[in-house]
Chains A and B, each alone.
Chain A
């Protein structure tokens, strides 16, 4: 008899793994029957998760941590045993702003050069009483943290020199068109939608800010994990198989068509294919460019929930919420990511499992082999664009270095 799981999601390309696990029968092979609930706001995805309409959800990693810590609403412990992907977002500017900062034609910009030019432009506009405004998908999103990390490292104070507001992904193109925002950090296919409408130009991929930055997670209530442990582990195995299918170029067209369907993203398969194939059209009417690993869904144990990723997100939460660093909170935030569940699900499947649960983030400037439980895993470059690295053994030290 098959086990039933209901999964909440927002229509974004990186909801792909659970969807494809169901569509290609990987879930059924594991004895699972999956149902999906699509919503249009993260608040509703979260409500359904907390009140039992869904068993698990495609969720912003920082939102899973914020919910556990009780930021914005009473604390409810969530766990994330599986990372749905790394990166896959982009920074899109209005054509005017892209031109003002000298964003190059036909290729992505250099984060430092664009950031420095943006600092000059922000100051110029501030002098005439206008503040540049950027949209992010949620206060507790990697989009917000990546954008802020980049701005701050380029000498732009995100809360003073510019304004950052929340814009729902489907309305990003509208907001750019109406001049409500000058730029945004959002996932696909919404950057491409803005490009197609001629209201935005993609200037950077978030993978240029942090080469292997954590993005969405599969989140569920801690109590639900305990009750449905076997089913969740089966889902993890099914999603690893879906990931191998997803990254195989032979399947790109078919997967784009599935994700584009009315029950899932209800969007253009052609635009979805751009993200899946790492081939982005940066400006209306221009040729696609190839940016490898724009989205990163499978290789290098990409779905492994590194505790250090949760800790990095916590440091950014402290940094931008303006709350002090609390060792207890840091501990709780770290425990949201559950590598133990991931390992237990995949033990004996032959999948490569990292030997450690934490790593220094951003320390690899070249391809490096690290120890796995059996053999080694090859990790490629994972740096932050400003050359900093994040040592999870010293969170206060890291925060102090960012403030300096």
Chain B
């Protein structure tokens, strides 16, 4: 079975590719470039196309499939009535699937299940990474706020932190939020570095 994976995120595409390559009898082709998309799909002549939901080329691709229906390899969105739930799961995972008409659902199922799992895993990884980045950014903001207090009010570092914490507790907000407000106000007053 020939599977095209269209994804502008090269790292996610490789995670999907790696998974699908483990399936027997699958040839996987990854397209990450927007330019020349349809020509490359046509050239590869896939039986199954996986494309991420956030891909702006989806309408272009669907238009191509609609037109290709008149050609020798009609492609339809994978929507066997009995498989509503599977499709729902793929949409939840952030991937949409198009298959050549007539391909047996039993052959597509493992591909789809795997794609859904990999997409889901990638999304969780991304969320963890974003959270980690967010935490790092928060720490930097708190440091910047401490420096502002140390410079403007001559506080020591522990005193500056205690001051931020006191204000946060007083207004039932997070220390990071207080720090951000302070840094923003400082910038607005033209006292930024």
Contact = CB atoms under 8 A, between A and B. Distances in A.
Contacts of A167: 60
A53 interface: yes
Contact of A47 (B61, B81, B91): B91
Interface stretch (B50-58, B124-132, B171-179, B183-191): B50-58
Given A47-B96, A48-B91, A168 B54 contact: no
Given A51-B91, A73-B79, A44 B53 contact: yes
A125 interface: no
B58 A44 contact: yes
Given A48-B91, A51-B91, A43 B62 contact: yes
A51 B88 CA distance: 6
Given A51-B87, A53-B91, A137 B59 contact: yes
Interface stretch (A34-42, A236-244, A247-255, A338-346): A34-42
A131 interface: no
A137 B60 CA distance: 9
Most buried by B among A41, A72, A165: A41
Contacts of A224: none
A171 B77 CA distance: 24
Contacts of B59: 41-43, 137-138, 166, 168
A71 to B, nearest CB: 8
Contact of A74 (B58, B79, B92): B79
Given A43-B58, A43-B96, A171-B56, A165 B91 contact: no
A74 B87 CA distance: 13
A170 B92 contact: no
A167 B64 CA distance: 11
B54 A165 contact: no
A332 interface: no
B63 A138 contact: yes
Contacts of A138: 59, 63
A139 interface: yes
A306 to B, nearest CB: 27
Interface residues of B, number: 23
Nearest to B96: A47
B91 A40 contact: no
A193 to B, nearest CB: 15
A51 B94 CA distance: 12
Given A41-B55, A73-B79, A139 B60 contact: no
Interface string B59-76: 111110110000000001
Interface string B34-58: 1000000000000000000111111
A165 B92 CA distance: 29
B66 A139 contact: yes
Interface string B71-104: 0000011010100000110011000100000000
B26 to A, nearest CB: 25
Nearest to A141: B59
B40 to A, nearest CB: 15
Contacts of A44: 53-54, 58, 96
A165 B56 contact: no
A322 to B, nearest CB: 10
Contacts of A139: 62-63, 66
A37 to B, nearest CB: 11
Contact of A168 (B56, B66, B79): B56
A252 to B, nearest CB: 26
Interface in A151-185: 165-168, 170-171
14 contacts: A40-B56, A41-B57, A41-B58, A43-B59, A44-B58, A47-B91, A51-B92, A53-B92, A73-B76, A74-B81, A138-B63, A139-B62, A168-B59, A170-B56
A-B complex: 10 closest residue pairs judged by Cβ atoms: A41-B58, A166-B63, A43-B58, A40-B56, A51-B91, A168-B56, A44-B53, A41-B59, A166-B60, A73-B77
